[in-house]
Chains A and B, each alone.
Chain A
Amino acid sequence: MSDPALESELVRRVARGDEVALAVLYDRLAPLAYGLALRIAGDKRSAQDAVQEAFLNVWHGAERFVATRGTARAWVLRIVRNSAIDRARSEGAHERARLRAIELGGVSWPAAPERPDLQLVGQESRSALDSALDELPAEQRRLIEIAFFQGLSHTEIATREGIPLGTVKARIRTGIGRLRQIAAQGRIHA
Protein backbone atom coordinates (compact mmCIF):
# COMPACT_ATOMS: atom_id res chain seq x y z
CA MET A 1 0.00 0.00 0.00
CA SER A 2 1.15 3.46 -0.82
CA ASP A 3 1.50 5.70 2.22
CA PRO A 4 2.80 9.05 0.97
CA ALA A 5 3.20 10.57 4.44
CA LEU A 6 5.17 7.58 5.75
CA GLU A 7 7.39 7.44 2.68
CA SER A 8 8.06 11.20 2.86
CA GLU A 9 9.04 10.81 6.50
CA LEU A 10 11.35 7.93 5.58
CA VAL A 11 13.09 10.08 2.96
CA ARG A 12 13.46 12.91 5.50
CA ARG A 13 15.07 10.46 7.92
CA VAL A 14 17.35 9.17 5.18
CA ALA A 15 18.42 12.79 4.64
CA ARG A 16 19.51 12.83 8.29
CA GLY A 17 21.66 9.74 7.73
CA ASP A 18 19.22 7.12 9.07
CA GLU A 19 20.25 3.80 7.49
CA VAL A 20 17.29 1.96 9.03
CA ALA A 21 14.92 4.37 7.29
CA LEU A 22 16.61 3.57 4.00
CA ALA A 23 16.19 -0.14 4.63
CA VAL A 24 12.47 0.33 5.32
CA LEU A 25 12.14 2.50 2.23
CA TYR A 26 13.91 -0.16 0.19
CA ASP A 27 11.59 -2.89 1.49
CA ARG A 28 8.57 -0.82 0.51
CA LEU A 29 9.73 0.25 -2.93
CA ALA A 30 12.21 -2.41 -4.10
CA PRO A 31 9.63 -4.47 -6.09
CA LEU A 32 8.42 -1.36 -7.92
CA ALA A 33 11.96 -0.12 -8.47
CA TYR A 34 13.25 -3.45 -9.62
CA GLY A 35 10.32 -4.11 -11.96
CA LEU A 36 10.71 -0.68 -13.52
CA ALA A 37 14.47 -1.06 -13.89
CA LEU A 38 14.07 -4.51 -15.38
CA ARG A 39 11.64 -3.19 -17.97
CA ILE A 40 13.94 -0.33 -18.98
CA ALA A 41 17.40 -1.93 -18.72
CA GLY A 42 16.22 -5.21 -20.22
CA ASP A 43 18.24 -7.62 -18.09
CA LYS A 44 18.48 -8.64 -14.49
CA ARG A 45 22.08 -7.66 -13.86
CA SER A 46 21.69 -4.15 -15.24
CA ALA A 47 18.42 -3.79 -13.35
CA GLN A 48 20.09 -4.76 -10.07
CA ASP A 49 22.93 -2.36 -10.72
CA ALA A 50 20.45 0.37 -11.56
CA VAL A 51 18.47 -0.23 -8.36
CA GLN A 52 21.61 -0.24 -6.25
CA GLU A 53 22.83 2.97 -7.86
CA ALA A 54 19.41 4.54 -7.48
CA PHE A 55 19.22 3.84 -3.74
CA LEU A 56 22.73 5.21 -3.30
CA ASN A 57 21.52 8.35 -5.08
CA VAL A 58 18.53 8.44 -2.75
CA TRP A 59 20.93 8.16 0.20
CA HIS A 60 23.01 11.05 -1.09
CA GLY A 61 20.27 13.22 -2.52
CA ALA A 62 17.52 12.80 0.08
CA GLU A 63 17.91 16.36 1.34
CA ARG A 64 16.87 17.56 -2.13
CA PHE A 65 13.49 15.87 -1.89
CA VAL A 66 10.67 18.44 -1.66
CA ALA A 67 7.44 16.90 -0.39
CA THR A 68 5.28 19.65 -1.91
CA ARG A 69 6.52 18.80 -5.40
CA GLY A 70 5.39 15.20 -5.50
CA THR A 71 5.36 11.97 -3.54
CA ALA A 72 8.48 10.32 -2.19
CA ARG A 73 7.52 7.19 -4.14
CA ALA A 74 7.47 9.03 -7.48
CA TRP A 75 10.70 10.78 -6.57
CA VAL A 76 12.45 7.47 -5.91
CA LEU A 77 10.99 5.88 -9.04
CA ARG A 78 12.23 8.78 -11.18
CA ILE A 79 15.71 8.19 -9.78
CA VAL A 80 15.41 4.48 -10.58
CA ARG A 81 14.20 5.23 -14.10
CA ASN A 82 17.06 7.65 -14.80
CA SER A 83 19.58 5.18 -13.47
CA ALA A 84 18.13 2.35 -15.57
CA ILE A 85 18.03 4.52 -18.70
CA ASP A 86 21.71 5.40 -18.18
CA ARG A 87 22.49 1.69 -17.87
CA ALA A 88 20.54 0.83 -21.02
CA ARG A 89 22.25 3.59 -22.99
CA SER A 90 25.62 2.44 -21.73
CA GLU A 91 24.90 -1.13 -22.82
CA GLY A 92 23.72 0.15 -26.20
CA ALA A 93 26.85 2.21 -26.65
CA HIS A 94 28.97 -0.80 -25.76
CA GLU A 95 27.25 -2.94 -28.35
CA ARG A 96 27.52 -0.25 -31.05
CA ALA A 97 31.23 0.18 -30.33
CA ARG A 98 31.78 -3.57 -30.56
CA LEU A 99 30.06 -3.85 -33.92
CA ARG A 100 31.91 -0.81 -35.27
CA ALA A 101 35.28 -2.25 -34.18
CA ILE A 102 34.57 -5.55 -35.92
CA GLU A 103 33.40 -3.71 -39.03
CA LEU A 104 36.56 -1.57 -39.16
CA GLY A 105 39.13 -4.33 -38.87
CA GLY A 106 38.10 -7.44 -37.07
CA VAL A 107 39.14 -6.06 -33.71
CA SER A 108 38.32 -8.38 -30.86
CA TRP A 109 35.77 -6.79 -28.57
CA PRO A 110 34.03 -8.69 -25.80
CA ALA A 111 30.31 -8.98 -26.19
CA ALA A 112 28.01 -8.30 -23.28
CA PRO A 113 27.67 -11.43 -21.11
CA GLU A 114 24.90 -13.83 -21.89
CA ARG A 115 21.96 -13.58 -19.52
CA PRO A 116 19.20 -15.95 -20.71
CA ASP A 117 17.69 -16.36 -17.25
CA LEU A 118 17.32 -12.62 -16.86
CA GLN A 119 15.82 -12.26 -20.28
CA LEU A 120 13.22 -14.78 -19.25
CA VAL A 121 12.26 -12.75 -16.20
CA GLY A 122 12.19 -9.64 -18.31
CA GLN A 123 9.99 -11.31 -20.84
CA GLU A 124 7.61 -12.48 -18.14
CA SER A 125 7.23 -9.09 -16.57
CA ARG A 126 6.97 -7.47 -19.94
CA SER A 127 4.22 -9.76 -21.07
CA ALA A 128 1.84 -8.62 -18.32
CA LEU A 129 2.30 -5.00 -19.16
CA ASP A 130 2.54 -5.62 -22.86
CA SER A 131 -0.79 -7.33 -22.87
CA ALA A 132 -2.29 -4.30 -21.16
CA LEU A 133 -0.46 -1.93 -23.45
CA ASP A 134 -1.69 -3.93 -26.41
CA GLU A 135 -5.18 -2.90 -25.50
CA LEU A 136 -4.24 0.77 -26.00
CA PRO A 137 -4.29 2.49 -29.36
CA ALA A 138 -0.86 2.31 -30.98
CA GLU A 139 -0.18 6.06 -30.67
CA GLN A 140 -0.94 6.03 -26.92
CA ARG A 141 1.17 2.95 -26.33
CA ARG A 142 4.13 4.42 -28.20
CA LEU A 143 4.03 7.73 -26.33
CA ILE A 144 3.72 6.00 -22.95
CA GLU A 145 6.71 3.80 -23.67
CA ILE A 146 8.79 6.79 -24.79
CA ALA A 147 7.73 8.92 -21.84
CA PHE A 148 8.12 6.38 -19.08
CA PHE A 149 10.78 4.00 -20.28
CA GLN A 150 13.03 6.34 -22.27
CA GLY A 151 12.64 9.29 -19.93
CA LEU A 152 11.89 11.95 -22.55
CA SER A 153 9.93 15.02 -21.48
CA HIS A 154 6.60 15.76 -23.14
CA THR A 155 8.19 18.65 -25.01
CA GLU A 156 10.98 16.43 -26.29
CA ILE A 157 8.45 13.81 -27.36
CA ALA A 158 6.41 16.44 -29.21
CA THR A 159 9.52 17.59 -31.06
CA ARG A 160 10.70 14.08 -31.83
CA GLU A 161 7.34 12.80 -32.98
CA GLY A 162 6.35 16.01 -34.75
CA ILE A 163 3.02 16.38 -32.95
CA PRO A 164 1.65 19.21 -30.78
CA LEU A 165 2.58 19.23 -27.11
CA GLY A 166 -1.10 19.26 -26.11
CA THR A 167 -1.68 16.11 -28.11
CA VAL A 168 1.24 14.39 -26.40
CA LYS A 169 -0.14 15.26 -22.98
CA ALA A 170 -3.68 14.19 -23.89
CA ARG A 171 -2.62 10.83 -25.33
CA ILE A 172 -0.42 10.02 -22.33
CA ARG A 173 -3.11 11.07 -19.87
CA THR A 174 -5.73 8.97 -21.67
CA GLY A 175 -3.40 6.02 -21.94
CA ILE A 176 -2.54 6.07 -18.25
CA GLY A 177 -6.21 6.31 -17.37
CA ARG A 178 -6.92 3.30 -19.55
CA LEU A 179 -4.10 1.27 -17.95
CA ARG A 180 -5.47 2.18 -14.51
CA GLN A 181 -8.85 0.81 -15.56
CA ILE A 182 -7.32 -2.39 -16.84
CA ALA A 183 -5.36 -2.82 -13.61
CA ALA A 184 -8.48 -2.18 -11.54
CA GLN A 185 -10.27 -4.90 -13.48
CA GLY A 186 -7.48 -7.28 -12.49
CA ARG A 187 -6.42 -7.98 -16.00
CA ILE A 188 -2.76 -7.12 -15.36
CA HIS A 189 -0.66 -9.58 -13.41
CA ALA A 190 2.96 -8.72 -13.05
Chain B
Amino acid sequence: MPEDPRLEDEEREMDDEGLEELAQVLATPPPRELRARVLAAVQERGQLDRVRRRLTRWRAGGLAAAAAACVMALLYAQQVRIAQQNADTISAMLDGASGVMAHMAAQGREIVERGDALLVHAEIIRILSSPNLKTAPLDPMAGHSGSARVLLDPISGAVALVGVGLPPAKPGEVYELWALRGDAPERAGEFETDPSRKNFALRLRHVRAPSEVTAFAVSLESKRGLAAPQGPIVLMGSIES
Protein backbone atom coordinates (compact mmCIF):
# COMPACT_ATOMS: atom_id res chain seq x y z
CA MET B 1 0.00 0.00 0.00
CA PRO B 2 1.28 3.47 -0.72
CA GLU B 3 0.99 4.73 2.86
CA ASP B 4 1.79 3.17 6.21
CA PRO B 5 -1.25 3.87 8.42
CA ARG B 6 0.73 3.12 11.53
CA LEU B 7 2.75 6.27 11.23
CA GLU B 8 1.63 8.98 13.60
CA ASP B 9 1.62 12.56 12.34
CA GLU B 10 4.83 13.58 14.07
CA GLU B 11 6.60 10.41 13.08
CA ARG B 12 5.34 10.75 9.52
CA GLU B 13 6.64 14.31 9.32
CA MET B 14 10.04 13.17 10.52
CA ASP B 15 9.94 10.26 8.14
CA ASP B 16 8.94 12.50 5.23
CA GLU B 17 11.70 15.02 5.93
CA GLY B 18 14.31 12.34 6.37
CA LEU B 19 13.18 10.45 3.34
CA GLU B 20 13.33 13.54 1.15
CA GLU B 21 16.80 14.37 2.51
CA LEU B 22 18.13 10.88 1.95
CA ALA B 23 16.55 10.61 -1.49
CA GLN B 24 18.16 13.90 -2.39
CA VAL B 25 21.51 12.51 -1.29
CA LEU B 26 20.93 9.22 -3.10
CA ALA B 27 19.53 10.78 -6.30
CA THR B 28 20.68 8.75 -9.28
CA PRO B 29 19.67 9.33 -12.91
CA PRO B 30 17.59 6.35 -13.94
CA PRO B 31 18.26 4.53 -17.21
CA ARG B 32 16.67 6.33 -20.11
CA GLU B 33 14.53 3.33 -21.05
CA LEU B 34 12.91 3.26 -17.61
CA ARG B 35 10.93 6.38 -18.44
CA ALA B 36 9.51 4.75 -21.56
CA ARG B 37 8.73 1.57 -19.59
CA VAL B 38 6.94 3.44 -16.82
CA LEU B 39 4.92 5.67 -19.13
CA ALA B 40 4.01 2.77 -21.42
CA ALA B 41 2.83 0.75 -18.43
CA VAL B 42 0.80 3.70 -17.15
CA GLN B 43 -0.63 4.34 -20.60
CA GLU B 44 -1.60 0.70 -20.97
CA ARG B 45 -3.12 0.70 -17.49
CA GLY B 46 -4.84 4.01 -18.26
CA GLN B 47 -6.48 2.53 -21.34
CA LEU B 48 -7.60 -0.46 -19.30
CA ASP B 49 -8.92 1.88 -16.64
CA ARG B 50 -10.84 3.89 -19.22
CA VAL B 51 -12.38 0.73 -20.67
CA ARG B 52 -13.17 -0.47 -17.15
CA ARG B 53 -14.72 2.90 -16.23
CA ARG B 54 -16.76 2.87 -19.43
CA LEU B 55 -17.91 -0.68 -18.71
CA THR B 56 -18.72 0.32 -15.15
CA ARG B 57 -20.70 3.31 -16.42
CA TRP B 58 -22.57 1.12 -18.90
CA ARG B 59 -23.14 -1.47 -16.23
CA ALA B 60 -24.28 1.21 -13.82
CA GLY B 61 -26.52 2.69 -16.51
CA GLY B 62 -27.96 -0.73 -17.28
CA LEU B 63 -28.45 -1.46 -13.61
CA ALA B 64 -30.07 1.93 -13.09
CA ALA B 65 -32.41 1.34 -16.02
CA ALA B 66 -33.23 -2.15 -14.76
CA ALA B 67 -33.78 -0.80 -11.27
CA ALA B 68 -36.01 1.97 -12.63
CA ALA B 69 -37.98 -0.60 -14.63
CA CYS B 70 -38.34 -2.78 -11.53
CA VAL B 71 -39.48 0.21 -9.49
CA MET B 72 -42.00 1.20 -12.18
CA ALA B 73 -43.26 -2.37 -12.39
CA LEU B 74 -43.59 -2.55 -8.62
CA LEU B 75 -45.40 0.80 -8.53
CA TYR B 76 -47.70 -0.31 -11.32
CA ALA B 77 -48.41 -3.62 -9.58
CA GLN B 78 -49.01 -1.74 -6.35
CA GLN B 79 -51.42 0.65 -8.08
CA VAL B 80 -53.24 -2.26 -9.71
CA ARG B 81 -53.45 -4.02 -6.35
CA ILE B 82 -54.72 -0.86 -4.64
CA ALA B 83 -57.24 -0.27 -7.43
CA GLN B 84 -58.41 -3.90 -7.15
CA GLN B 85 -58.69 -3.55 -3.38
CA ASN B 86 -60.63 -0.31 -3.80
CA ALA B 87 -62.92 -1.92 -6.34
CA ASP B 88 -63.50 -4.87 -4.00
CA THR B 89 -64.15 -2.50 -1.12
CA ILE B 90 -66.56 -0.39 -3.17
CA SER B 91 -68.30 -3.52 -4.43
CA ALA B 92 -68.63 -4.83 -0.87
CA MET B 93 -69.86 -1.43 0.26
CA LEU B 94 -72.38 -1.36 -2.59
CA ASP B 95 -73.53 -4.86 -1.67
CA GLY B 96 -73.87 -3.77 1.92
CA ALA B 97 -75.54 -0.54 0.86
CA SER B 98 -78.03 -2.34 -1.36
CA GLY B 99 -78.83 -4.65 1.55
CA VAL B 100 -79.26 -1.64 3.79
CA MET B 101 -81.37 0.09 1.13
CA ALA B 102 -83.59 -2.97 0.76
CA HIS B 103 -83.92 -3.21 4.51
CA MET B 104 -84.72 0.50 4.70
CA ALA B 105 -87.25 0.17 1.88
CA ALA B 106 -88.92 -2.71 3.70
CA GLN B 107 -88.93 -0.71 6.88
CA GLY B 108 -90.30 2.26 4.96
CA ARG B 109 -93.09 0.14 3.57
CA GLU B 110 -93.85 -1.21 7.02
CA ILE B 111 -93.84 2.31 8.44
CA VAL B 112 -96.24 3.45 5.70
CA GLU B 113 -98.44 0.44 6.34
CA ARG B 114 -98.38 1.05 10.07
CA GLY B 115 -99.02 4.73 9.43
CA ASP B 116 -102.03 3.84 7.32
CA ALA B 117 -103.18 1.42 10.00
CA LEU B 118 -102.74 4.13 12.63
CA LEU B 119 -104.80 6.54 10.51
CA VAL B 120 -107.51 3.89 10.17
CA HIS B 121 -107.44 3.25 13.89
CA ALA B 122 -107.52 6.99 14.57
CA GLU B 123 -110.52 7.33 12.25
CA ILE B 124 -112.20 4.36 13.87
CA ILE B 125 -111.55 5.88 17.31
CA ARG B 126 -112.93 9.18 16.09
CA ILE B 127 -116.07 7.38 14.79
CA LEU B 128 -116.33 5.39 18.02
CA SER B 129 -116.11 8.62 19.99
CA SER B 130 -119.17 10.01 18.20
CA PRO B 131 -122.00 10.46 20.75
CA ASN B 132 -124.57 9.18 18.23
CA LEU B 133 -122.53 6.20 17.06
CA LYS B 134 -124.47 3.57 15.25
CA THR B 135 -123.34 0.00 14.67
CA ALA B 136 -124.51 -2.79 12.50
CA PRO B 137 -123.37 -6.37 13.26
CA LEU B 138 -122.91 -8.32 10.02
CA ASP B 139 -123.46 -12.05 10.11
CA PRO B 140 -122.43 -14.57 7.48
CA MET B 141 -124.95 -15.68 4.95
CA ALA B 142 -125.46 -19.34 4.29
CA GLY B 143 -122.37 -20.98 2.83
CA HIS B 144 -120.02 -18.17 3.96
CA SER B 145 -117.89 -17.55 7.01
CA GLY B 146 -116.69 -14.63 9.08
CA SER B 147 -118.39 -11.80 10.86
CA ALA B 148 -117.99 -8.02 11.01
CA ARG B 149 -119.41 -4.83 12.52
CA VAL B 150 -120.01 -1.54 10.73
CA LEU B 151 -119.37 1.66 12.71
CA LEU B 152 -121.34 4.64 11.38
CA ASP B 153 -121.13 8.26 12.43
CA PRO B 154 -124.66 9.41 11.64
CA ILE B 155 -123.62 13.04 11.53
CA SER B 156 -120.61 12.90 9.14
CA GLY B 157 -121.50 9.65 7.37
CA ALA B 158 -118.04 8.21 8.10
CA VAL B 159 -118.00 4.41 7.96
CA ALA B 160 -115.55 1.90 9.41
CA LEU B 161 -115.61 -1.85 9.26
CA VAL B 162 -113.99 -4.22 11.73
CA GLY B 163 -114.26 -7.96 11.38
CA VAL B 164 -112.78 -11.42 11.71
CA GLY B 165 -112.60 -14.64 9.74
CA LEU B 166 -113.45 -13.28 6.30
CA PRO B 167 -111.44 -15.34 3.80
CA PRO B 168 -109.23 -13.53 1.28
CA ALA B 169 -110.90 -12.81 -2.04
CA LYS B 170 -109.72 -14.83 -5.04
CA PRO B 171 -107.61 -13.08 -7.68
CA GLY B 172 -109.80 -10.74 -9.73
CA GLU B 173 -112.43 -10.52 -6.99
CA VAL B 174 -113.01 -7.82 -4.38
CA TYR B 175 -115.28 -7.33 -1.38
CA GLU B 176 -117.73 -4.43 -1.57
CA LEU B 177 -119.66 -2.87 1.37
CA TRP B 178 -123.10 -1.61 0.61
CA ALA B 179 -125.25 0.84 2.63
CA LEU B 180 -128.91 -0.16 2.41
CA ARG B 181 -131.81 2.18 2.81
CA GLY B 182 -135.36 2.15 1.40
CA ASP B 183 -134.73 3.20 -2.18
CA ALA B 184 -131.46 1.61 -3.49
CA PRO B 185 -128.08 0.27 -2.20
CA GLU B 186 -125.13 2.74 -2.01
CA ARG B 187 -121.51 1.74 -2.48
CA ALA B 188 -119.72 2.29 0.84
CA GLY B 189 -116.30 1.10 -0.35
CA GLU B 190 -114.41 -1.91 -1.64
CA PHE B 191 -111.80 -3.75 0.36
CA GLU B 192 -109.54 -6.79 0.58
CA THR B 193 -108.56 -8.84 3.58
CA ASP B 194 -105.00 -9.62 4.56
CA PRO B 195 -104.36 -13.37 4.29
CA SER B 196 -101.71 -13.12 7.01
CA ARG B 197 -104.14 -11.64 9.52
CA LYS B 198 -107.30 -13.03 10.88
CA ASN B 199 -108.76 -9.68 11.96
CA PHE B 200 -109.28 -6.64 9.83
CA ALA B 201 -110.19 -2.99 10.44
CA LEU B 202 -111.00 -0.68 7.53
CA ARG B 203 -112.08 2.92 7.09
CA LEU B 204 -114.37 3.15 4.09
CA ARG B 205 -116.20 5.86 2.16
CA HIS B 206 -118.65 8.30 3.67
CA VAL B 207 -122.25 7.52 2.91
CA ARG B 208 -124.92 9.98 1.97
CA ALA B 209 -127.82 10.61 4.36
CA PRO B 210 -126.43 8.35 7.07
CA SER B 211 -129.51 8.72 9.24
CA GLU B 212 -131.54 6.97 6.56
CA VAL B 213 -129.28 3.91 6.37
CA THR B 214 -130.93 0.92 7.94
CA ALA B 215 -128.61 -1.95 7.11
CA PHE B 216 -125.26 -2.93 5.56
CA ALA B 217 -124.25 -5.84 3.34
CA VAL B 218 -120.91 -7.18 2.03
CA SER B 219 -120.85 -8.77 -1.40
CA LEU B 220 -118.05 -10.49 -3.32
CA GLU B 221 -117.73 -8.88 -6.73
CA SER B 222 -115.76 -9.78 -9.82
CA LYS B 223 -116.07 -6.23 -11.20
CA ARG B 224 -115.37 -2.89 -9.62
CA GLY B 225 -117.52 0.25 -9.62
CA LEU B 226 -120.90 -1.45 -9.89
CA ALA B 227 -124.04 0.56 -9.02
CA ALA B 228 -125.65 -2.43 -7.32
CA PRO B 229 -124.31 -5.74 -6.02
CA GLN B 230 -124.15 -8.53 -8.59
CA GLY B 231 -122.11 -11.09 -6.75
CA PRO B 232 -123.05 -13.19 -3.75
CA ILE B 233 -123.87 -11.50 -0.43
CA VAL B 234 -121.52 -12.90 2.18
CA LEU B 235 -122.33 -10.74 5.24
CA MET B 236 -125.37 -8.69 6.15
CA GLY B 237 -126.94 -6.98 9.20
CA SER B 238 -129.22 -4.16 10.35
CA ILE B 239 -128.24 -1.05 12.32
CA GLU B 240 -128.85 -1.51 15.99
CA SER B 241 -131.11 0.95 17.58
A64–B43 CA distance with the chains assembled, in angstroms: 20
B11 partner, pick from A74, A153, A190, beta carbons under 8 A: A153
Contact present for A57 and B2 (CB under 8 Å): yes
B2 partner, pick from A32, A61, A144, A180, beta carbons under 8 A: A61
**Which residues of chain B are near A56, meaning CB under 8 Å?**
38, 41-42, 45
Nearest-CB residue, chain B, relative to A40: B26
**Which residues of chain B are near A64, meaning CB under 8 Å?**
2-3
Q: How far is the CB of B23 from chain A (nearest CB, A)?
A: 4
Q: Known contacts A31-B28, A148-B22; decide if A26 and B38 are in contact (CB<8 Å).
A: yes
Total residues of chain B contacting the partner, CB 8 A: 41
**Which residues of chain A are near B23, meaning CB under 8 Å?**
32-33, 35-36, 77
Q: How far is the CB of A183 from chain B (nearest CB, A)?
A: 6
Contact present for A32 and B24 (CB under 8 Å): yes
Main secondary structure of the interface of B (DSSP, over half): helix
- Using A148-B18, A183-B24 as known contacts, list a sample of 12 further A-B pairs with CB atoms less than 8 Å apart, ordered by residue number in A: A17-B49, A19-B43, A19-B46, A22-B39, A48-B34, A59-B42, A69-B9, A74-B16, A78-B16, A125-B28, A176-B14, A183-B21
Closest 7 CB pairs of A and B: A74-B16, A35-B26, A35-B28, A34-B30, A32-B23, A31-B27, A79-B2
Question: B residues engaging A (CB < 8 A)?
Answer: 1-4, 6-7, 9-31, 34-35, 37-39, 41-43, 45-46, 49-50
7 contacts between A and B (CB under 8 A): A19-B42, A31-B27, A52-B37, A70-B13, A148-B18, A153-B11, A183-B25
